[in-house]
Amino acid sequence: ADLCPPQKKSREESSGEGSGVEILANRPYSDGPGGSGQYTHKIYHVGSHIPSWFRALLPKAALQVEEESWNAYPYTRTRYTCPFVEKFSIEIETYYRPDCGQQTNVFNLSAAEKRQRIL
């Protein structure tokens, strides 16, 4: 009997053309964001999650999302990009603190930066 059907389903959905995750790098670093940690670089192939009629209109570069992550717990930085849209990226910085989110300026932002943020 299959004792782990969710894992099997996930594995099946992550195989084949245009789907799954490709790991390009997974290595330690010593002088980067947050000091020392683990760097990963992945490509998510999202083609199988888009309707086929729409997928046919898009170039292959539009069906990929790249993720670079620097994990130096309690700090992490993750950047998402899409090769099809070269000048667009999303960066997420996270601090894990044992204070239930009570710190008002965990990133030590300047007054000008704090005025631009949305909470």
Q: Is the pLDDT of residue 92 over 50?
A: yes
Domain covering 6-116, topology: Alpha-D-Glucose-1,6-Bisphosphate; Chain A, domain 4 (3.30.530)
List, in sequence order, every beta strand (DSSP E) within 17-118.
19-32, 35-46, 64-72, 75-82, 85-95
Report d(CA 21, CA 50) in Å as an integer: 16
Share of the chain above pLDDT 70, in %: 81
HEC readout, 30-50:
EEECCEEEEEEEEEEEEHHHC
Share of the chain above pLDDT 90, in %: 30
Report d(CA 56, CA 90) in Å as an integer: 26
pTM of the model: 0.69
